[in-house]
Structure 1
Amino acid sequence: MQQHLPSGDVSPRHPRTTKSRSRTVRGALAGAAATAGLLISLVPGGAQAADNPYERGPAPTQSSIEALRGPYAVSETSVSSLRVRGFGGGTIYYPTSTSDGTFGAIAISPGFTAYQSSIAWLGPRLASQGFVVFTIDTNTTMDQPASRGDQLLAALDYLTGESSVRSRIDTSRLGVMGHSMGGGGTLEAAKERPSLQAAIPLTGWNLDKTWPEVKTPTMVIGADGDTVASVTTHSKPFYNSLPSSLDKAYLELRGASHFTPNTSNTTIAKYSISWLKRFIDNDTRYEQFLCPLPSASLTIAEYQGTCPHTS
């Protein structure tokens, strides 16, 4: 299945020249500028690639991060559990075009007793913003957080090493997400693999409440009405236990339940996109949506975080 959406190319910015009293110098500078502009135009994404080679897509706006779909057309492919090791298969969503080069990648785990269908909405929504996204099934629906963490890492290893889209992925730019026990698994995966660039547990559940070992920029998302993994016993302790030196954030959804992440949600999407772009793509254009810290609103009960970000 393909969704045909406009390309996310950004026009190159050409270097400036300065005035000179000498026509010869002016001509030389102009020639050099033209040559530099030509070289820049040959790099996917234009001058943005020279400044930050990981930037993908046009400059973001409030409406673009809230949109149901981003600038990239998306394709998807199913992965049978019979073809993989260490997790239960899943669905890969990826930008159809290869004109912008490689992309960062994210594996997402469902929660206890749930299947990938419960978090499937995140696949095309994140992929259309310029990521390869793998929504996975777990080995059994009863798997605990530690196992789900291992399965998220196994999914990333398959995605980057064996999948049909491996050539589209930058293996140095990887992240994890998960709901409920999958959220607890997200923290487990980040603890186990410090090289991950971003982690987002969604109304996470884990018996382990302390995560001082995590070195991955982490956004913890909780829900004020969660009666399964209450923010007072899960999301807040998770966030508070992360190192103070870490780039981290805590977003508490207002009027939300434990199962809010199972359906399309603009608040979850906009801040997840911003976090993933900021830390997987090193794209500081998204810093504006994270710092200064968002205020409480009709959809946000509380937001905490470390600003400005250092990574």
Structure 2
Amino acid sequence: MWRRVPRPEDGRVTEIIAGLSMSPPELLALLGGVALVVARWLPPAARPPVTIAAGAVLVASAIVLSVVGIHWQMLPVLAGAAVALPFALLPLRRRRTGRPAWRARWWLALPGSVACVGLMAATPVAAWAFPVPVFPEPSGPFAVGTSVVQWTDPRRPETFTADPHDRRTVVVQLWYPAQKSPAGTQRAQYLGRTEEEARTVSKALAREVGLPGFLVDGVPRARTHSVFDAPVAGGGERFPVVLFSPGSGGVRTQNTAWAEELAGHGYVVAALDHPYDSAAVVLADGRTIQTKIASTGDRDEDDKLAVDWTAVRAADLRFVLSRLDHLDRGELTGPLTGRLDTGRVAVTGHSMGGAAALQAARQDPRFDAVIDLDGYPHGPTTPALHQPTLALTQAVTPATDPRYIPRLTEALKLSTATSYRLTIPGAGHLTFMDGPLYLPPVPSIVGSLGRTESPHVVAATTLAFLETTLRHKPGDLAGVLSTYGDLSVHQPDNSR
């Protein structure tokens, strides 16, 4: 499981083809539009049947798409076809009336044809750049189930509202080892329990990064490999627990590919929505809580705010661990009662969630291991961490905050357990979440590892760490991690 499998050289070609993410009606509309333009340049005998067939395919596909929904990527095809259609049909009409067929001069038709085909070519490019995400198949022996719970902490007031009676509520999604579902079972929606929730969250995430919502309208159409409320895997085994906190403005589902891979290998992953911090949190009663946190533009002030927000997240993580412990003991009802090994728990997070994981581990000895996915350590670096820690970081560039690596190194060096910092070449900040599966493959946005390699690297390194720290499986962890990048190992003082 720890061996890195070499990828074939044509893997990126496969990614491009698989990432086009166009439905059959969309592909037929594209082919019909291109054929309509190309028909002008065919021999005279072939022009009428090709034009008629292409027009029929185009019109039929457009009708189907108008019923099921036209996505923005198809607009260039429809625009190009609308321009080409009159020029393609006019000669046929003149033939039927007995008048001489009219055709534009080649030197006039050529630029128009090139422009129309070029316009239509924008559709597959856009579909590739902003696809419906395709999640990698979990490689573990278990099928994956998922469920969503909502818990309120009666002892903790909600600091983001002025209501003195408001208590802190978190929404948690669980991914767990499950029994195999029958063929044809509906897979879980990405980003939400329903399509409406998924669209709400998708639009909120787009706003969070300054993108128009329509650019990512394919994301809420995605299906994962999990099954909602699937029966827990048989055998009575108790599964180690991994808690996860998303990045600033992030949501509980942002690392679904990673969570499914861990669950397939026998872990229960509990990922949190942090209300008023996550981009959008849909509560059980249907209310949607939008984010209230925002950058001020002043670095010192933002650092102070980040410390406060990190503290809230760390408290959320500790509270959820307590709830999971109650669930395991049967004090809360649920199918995972008696199946959670809350004596083997890792706390993890991405970006600000990574900082929250570090803080929660300092404050709560129930956490046995820590994974920080490219998170700047906001808040104090003391007391020392007593848990083994894995910090994965993006490739360091001149644009990287110069305080990041020194501060992270300081936190790891203070640890009384062995800690690892792995810098992954080609990784960007969003490499450590699902972003590479549906955002444009621009290195400055999602890194340069690609849609296949990004989730593979994150899952392989974290699984190797969890197998060593929670399951205590023998192996050369440092040797495995070093195959993925630049590894620094920090040994505690008492073992040097």
> Fold match, TM over 0.5?
yes
Once residues 111 and 193 of structure 1 are traced to their aligned partners in structure 2, the CA distance between those partners, rounded to angstroms, is: 21
Please list the CA deviations of residues 17-44 of structure 1 after superposition, one character each: whole Å capped at 9, or x if unmatched. xxxxxxxxxxxxxxxxxxxxxxxxxxxx
Residue of structure 1 in register with 2:345 after alignment = 174
Q: 2:170 aligns with which of 88, 91, 108?
A: 88
The answer for the alignment partner of 1:304 in structure 2 is 488
Q: Deviations over 1:260-297 (max 9, x none)?
A: 1122521111110111111112222xx33x133644x6
Unaligned runs of 5+ in 2: 6-135, 155-166, 179-232, 278-292, 294-307, 435-453
The one-letter amino acid paired with 2:337 is R
* 1:208 CA displacement: 3.0
**Residue 134 in 1 paired to residue 134 in 2?**
no
Task: Mark the CA change 1:67 to 1:159 in structure 2 (over 3 Å): closer, same or farther.
Answer: same
Residue deviations 1:122-151 (CA, integer Å, cap 9, x gap): 221111111111111012223711111111
Correspondence for 2:479: 292
**Aligned pairs for 1:64-75 within 5 A:** 68-75=138-145
Runs of 4+ in 1 over 6 A off after TM superposition: 82-85
**Counterpart position of 1:213:** 384
Higher helix share: 2
Could you tell me whether the CA contact under 8 Å between 1:74 and 1:124 is conserved in 2?
A: yes
Letter in structure 1 aligned against 2:170: G
- Mark the structure with the bigger radius of gyration: 2
* Corresponding position of 1:193: 364
SS in 2 for 1:205: coil
Q: Relative to 1, partners in 2 of residues 1:151 and 1:244: Cα closer, same or farther, differing over 3 Å?
A: closer
- Please name the residue that 2:238 is paired with: 102
Greater alpha carbon shift after TM alignment, 241-250 vs 264-273? 241-250
Question: Which of 470, 479, 483 is the aligned partner of 1:280?
Answer: 470
Contact 2:392–2:421 (CA under 8 A) maintained in structure 1 = yes
Structure 1 residue identity aligned to 2:272: I
Q: Equivalents in 1 of 2:397, 2:313: separation in Å? A: 21
Q: Distance in 2 between matches of 1:252 and 1:215?
A: 22
The whole-number CA distance in structure 2 between the counterparts of 1:117 and 1:198 is 22
Q: Distance in 2 between matches of 1:152 and 1:227?
A: 33
For residue 256 of structure 2, what is the aligned residue in structure 1? 120
Deviations 1:181-221 (A, max 9, x none): 10100001110012311110111023336345210111011
- What CA distance in whole angstroms lies between the structure 2 residues aligned with 1:235 and 1:73? 38
Counterpart AA for 1:79: V
Deviation string 1:222-251 (CA, Å, 9 cap, x unpaired) is 1115789x4742344223333364111001
Q: Which runs of 5+ in 1 are unaligned?
A: 1-59
CA distance in 1, matches of 2:152, 2:351: 26
1:109/1:136 contact within 8 Å kept: yes
TM-score (norm 1): 0.69
Corresponding residue for 1:151? 316
Q: 1:79 aligns with which of 149, 154, 159?
A: 149
Match of 2:354 in 1: 183
Q: Which structure carries more relative contact order (alpha carbon 8 Å, separation 6+)?
A: 1
CA distance in 1, matches of 2:255, 2:397: 17
Map of 1:248 onto structure 2: 419
Shift in alpha-carbon separation, 1:184–1:61, aligned structure 2, 3 A: closer
Moved more, 83-92 or 248-257: 83-92
Q: Deviation of residue 161 (structure 1)?
A: 1.1
Query: 1:267 is matched with which residue: 445, 454, 457?
Result: 457
- Quick one: distance in 2 between partners of 1:122 and 1:293? 18
Amino acid at match of 1:148: R
Q: Is the 8 A contact 1:175 1:198 kept in 2?
A: yes
Identity across matched positions, percent = 25
Shift of 1:117: 2.2
Is 2:409 the counterpart of 1:239?
yes
Could you tell me whether the CA contact under 8 Å between 1:86 and 1:154 is conserved in 2?
A: no
Specify the code of the residue in structure 1 equivalent to 2:309: Q
Within 2, Cα distance between the matches of 1:129 and 1:231? 35
